[in-house]
Amino acid sequence: MLSGELRSREELIDELRHAQSTGLISNDTLAMIEGAIEVTDLKVADVMVPRAQMVSIAVDDPLPEIVQTVIESGHSRFPVHGDDRDEILGILLAKDLLRCFTQTGDAPGEIRPLLRSVILIPESKRLNILLKEFRLSRHHMAIVVDEYGGVAGIVTIEDVLEQIVGDIDDEHDDDDDRQTLIRVSPDGTFLVDAQTPIAAFNERFGSEFNDEEYDTVGGMIAATVGHLPQPGDEADLGGFHFQVMKGDARRVQQFAVRMHVA
């Protein structure tokens, strides 16, 4: 039960962290609740993909070039612009392009008829409001515009949800991410992503940590220290020394790991 009347968001979060430390709620549940609370303070500009990193398509690009862009990027939605990159005409879905090939057997003459409607939003829009709009409109992507009406970037429903549940990996992330979950720094220290599966850690180091109760290294260490680990926190477990290198108020992200010398 909550200890008395809560008077601020900070007191609420303190109570939730106390509930996590006593095992009433899990570490993942605490992170999601804190993420949902934090979303009300964040704006689109805080999470959008900036213009320089956008993968967009010119409406008059040759079809082979468009197909190559779709394949190489691994994305499912693409802003389509006219001669001016600030002139967004619509959104091209990779599945719509594929459907043209599979249903007619012929390449489409142009992509204009395939474009879906696009929504434009300001950088200052709050994420909780955007999430509601995404749900109601059933859009998954929006174009972010600056104060002059120019394209500032894009934001997707996944970008918003990741603020609540953490990073969402897909099939295009797996191969690269698995190779970088455990890296060796120049001084010989192992840098281990907190989301590394315990089974993968055991396989790499020949350890025998139990993965029946906790799935990831981050979850195991959180249970060991009894609270959400913060940068600088340290723990010794199973012949290994773990030190938190990266993290925030909601989740731990990376450990520096050293093996104890017998």
The highest-level CATH class for domain 45-165 is alpha beta
Q: Considering only CA atoms, which of 130, 120, 116, 256 is closest in space to residue 193?
A: 256
Tell me: the pLDDT tens digits for 10-32? 788 788 888 878 888 877 777 77
| Tens-digit pLDDT string for the chain (262 aa) | 455 566 777 788 788 888 878 888 877 777 778 778 777 888 898 888 888 888 899 999 888 888 888 888 878 889 999 998 899 999 999 888 888 776 655 666 788 889 999 999 999 999 989 988 888 888 889 999 998 889 999 998 888 887 777 665 554 444 444 446 888 876 778 989 888 889 889 988 889 898 877 788 988 898 888 877 888 889 999 899 999 988 766 678 889 999 875 5
CATH number of 182-259: 3.30.465.10
3-state secondary structure of 12: helix
DSSP of 186-222: TTS-EEEETT-BHHHHHHHH------SS-SBHHHHHH
Q: For the chain, give the longest Cα–Cα distance.
A: 69
Q: Give the span between the Cα atoms of 190 and 182, in whole angstroms.
A: 7
> Which tokens is 108 given?
């489409």
Tell me: the pLDDT tens digits for 54-108? 889 999 988 888 888 888 887 888 999 999 889 999 999 988 888 877 665 566 6
Answer left, alpha or beta for residue 166, where phi above 0 means left and psi between -120 and 50 means alpha.
Answer: left
Q: Which amino acid is at 190?
A: F
Helix (H) or strand (E) holding 93: strand 88-93
H-state helical runs in the chain: 9-21, 27-39, 44-47, 63-73, 94-104, 127-137, 157-165, 171-180, 198-205, 217-225
- What are the residue ranges spanned by the domains of the chain? 10-39, 45-165, 182-259
Taking CA 151 as the corner, what is the angle to CA 145 and CA 154, rounded to the nearest 5 degrees? 80
pTM flag (> 0.75) = no
State the CB neighbour count (10 A cutoff) for residue 53. Answer: 9
Same fold, 45-165 and 182-259: no
Q: Give the span between the Cα atoms of 20 and 30, in whole angstroms.
A: 7
pLDDT value at residue 176: 46
pLDDT value at residue 88: 93
Which whole-number Å values give the CA distances from 259 to 45, 204, 207, 244, in the listed order? 41, 12, 10, 15
Asked if 255 and 192 touch (Cβ cutoff 8 Å), the reply is: yes
